[in-house]
Chain A
Amino acid sequence: MARYAMVLDTRRCIGCHSCTVACKVHNDLPVDMIYNPVTTVGPVGVFPHVHMEFIPLLCMHCANPPCVECCPTTASQQREDGIVWVDENKCVGCKACVMACPYGARIPNHEKGVVQKCDFCKDRLVLGKEPYCVATCHQRARIFGDLDDESSEVYRLVNQENVVRLLPELGTEPYVFYIMD
Chain B
Amino acid sequence: MSKNIDLTQEGIQVKRSCCFFCHQNCGVLAYVKDGRILEIEGDPNNPTNQGALCCRGNIALKHLDHPARVNYPLKRKGKRGSGEWERISWDQALDEIAAKLDQIRNEFGAEAVTTAGGTQRTDDWARRRFMNLYGSPNGFHNAHLCWIPTFMVETAIYGWCPFETDLTSSRCLVQWGHNPGASGMPEMRGINDLKQKGLKVIVIDPKFTETASKADLWLPLRPGSDLALALAWLNVIIWEGLYDAAFIENCCVGFNELAQHVKDYTPEWAAPLTWLDPELIREGARMYATNKPGNIQWGVAIDQSGTPAGAAMHARALLRAVTGNLDAPGSDLLTGPSKEFITDEEMEANEWLPEEQKAKQIGSDRYKITSWPGYGKIAQLCKDVWGKAPTAEWMCEAHPPSVYRAILTGEPYPVKALLVSATNPVNSYGESLQVLEALRKVDFLVTCEYWMTPSSMLSDYVLPIAGALERPTFHSVYGCSDFVIATQRAIQPMYERRTDFDFWRDLGIRLGQAEMWPWETLEEANYYRIYPLGYGVSSYDEFVEKVFYHFPEREYYKYGRIGFATPSRRVELVSSTLAELGYPSMPTYIGPAENENDDPDLAEKFPLVLTTGGGFMPFHHSEHFQIEELRFLRYEPYMDINPTTADKLGIKDGDWVWIETERGRIKQKANLTQGIHPRVIVTQRGWWYPEREACEPELGGCLESNTNVLTSVADKDCDPIGGSWANRGLLCRVYKVESSTITSGSNGKDGK
Does chain A bind chain B? yes
Contacting B53 at CB < 8 Å: which of A22, A50, A54, A124? A22
Q: Which residue of B lies closest to A23 (CB)?
A: B58
User: A18 near B53 (CB under 8 angstroms)?
Assistant: yes
Contacts of B49 on A, CB cut-off 8 Å? Answer: 138
User: A135 near B42 (CB under 8 angstroms)?
Assistant: yes
User: A50 near B3 (CB under 8 angstroms)?
Assistant: no
Contacts of A50 on B, CB cut-off 8 Å? Answer: 208, 674-675
Contacts of A32 on B, CB cut-off 8 Å? Answer: 632
Separation in Å of the A39 CB from the closest CB of chain B? 12
- Proximity string of chain A (2-39) to chain B, C-beta cutoff 8 Å, 1 when within and 0 when not: 00000000011011111011101111100110000000
Separation in Å of the B208 CB from the closest CB of chain A? 5
Given the known inter-chain contacts A18-B185, A43-B673, A50-B208, please indicate yes or no for A24 contacting B629, CB distance below 8 A: yes
Given the known inter-chain contacts A43-B208, A139-B188, please indicate yes or no for A16 contacting B53, CB distance below 8 A: no
Contacting A25 at CB < 8 Å: which of B58, B181, B196, B677? B58
CA distance A14 to B53 in the complex (A): 14
CA distance A52 to B678 in the complex (A): 18
User: A121 near B633 (CB under 8 angstroms)?
Assistant: no
Given the known inter-chain contacts A14-B182, A53-B213, please indicate yes or no for A26 contacting B1, CB distance below 8 A: yes
User: A47 near B674 (CB under 8 angstroms)?
Assistant: yes
Check: A136 CB closer than 8 A to any chain B CB.
yes
Contacts of B3 on A, CB cut-off 8 Å? Answer: 26-28, 121, 123-124, 132
User: B42 near A136 (CB under 8 angstroms)?
Assistant: yes
CA distance A28 to B192 in the complex (A): 31
Check: B2 CB closer than 8 A to any chain A CB.
yes
Contacts of A52 on B, CB cut-off 8 Å? Answer: 208, 213, 675
Separation in Å of the B423 CB from the closest CB of chain A? 25
Contacts of A28 on B, CB cut-off 8 Å? Answer: 1-4
Separation in Å of the A56 CB from the closest CB of chain B? 13
Separation in Å of the B178 CB from the closest CB of chain A? 13
User: A138 near B186 (CB under 8 angstroms)?
Assistant: yes
Check: B51 CB closer than 8 A to any chain A CB.
yes
User: A138 near B52 (CB under 8 angstroms)?
Assistant: yes
Contacts of B61 on A, CB cut-off 8 Å? Answer: 25
Residues in A122-181 with C-beta less than 8 Å from chain B: 123-124, 132, 135-140
Check: B676 CB closer than 8 A to any chain A CB.
yes
CA distance A24 to B618 in the complex (A): 14
User: A14 near B674 (CB under 8 angstroms)?
Assistant: no
Check: A44 CB closer than 8 A to any chain B CB.
yes
Check: B189 CB closer than 8 A to any chain A CB.
yes
Contacts of B57 on A, CB cut-off 8 Å? Answer: 18, 136
Q: Which residue of A lies closest to B187 (CB)?
A: A138
Query: Which one of A21, A26, A124 has the greatest number of beta carbons of chain B within 10 Å?
Result: A21
Contacts of B186 on A, CB cut-off 8 Å? Answer: 138
User: B189 near A16 (CB under 8 angstroms)?
Assistant: no
Separation in Å of the B618 CB from the closest CB of chain A? 6
CA distance A16 to B184 in the complex (A): 10
Separation in Å of the A161 CB from the closest CB of chain B? 11
User: A27 near B185 (CB under 8 angstroms)?
Assistant: no
Contacts of B633 on A, CB cut-off 8 Å? Answer: 17, 20-21
Check: A90 CB closer than 8 A to any chain B CB.
no
- A residues lining the B interface (CB < 8 Å): 11-12, 14-18, 20-22, 24-28, 31-32, 42-48, 50-54, 121, 123-124, 132, 135-140
- B residues lining the A interface (CB < 8 Å): 1-4, 41-42, 49, 51-55, 57-59, 61-62, 181-182, 185-186, 188-189, 192, 196, 208, 210-211, 213-214, 218, 220, 617-618, 628-630, 632-633, 642, 673-678
Q: Could you jot down 10 A-B contacts, CB within 8 Å?
A: A14-B182, A20-B633, A21-B59, A25-B62, A42-B674, A46-B674, A50-B674, A135-B51, A137-B52, A138-B53
Other than the known A11-B214, A18-B54, A135-B52, what 11 A-B pairs have Cβ atoms closer than 8 Å?
A15-B210, A18-B55, A21-B55, A21-B630, A24-B629, A28-B4, A43-B675, A47-B674, A48-B208, A50-B208, A50-B674
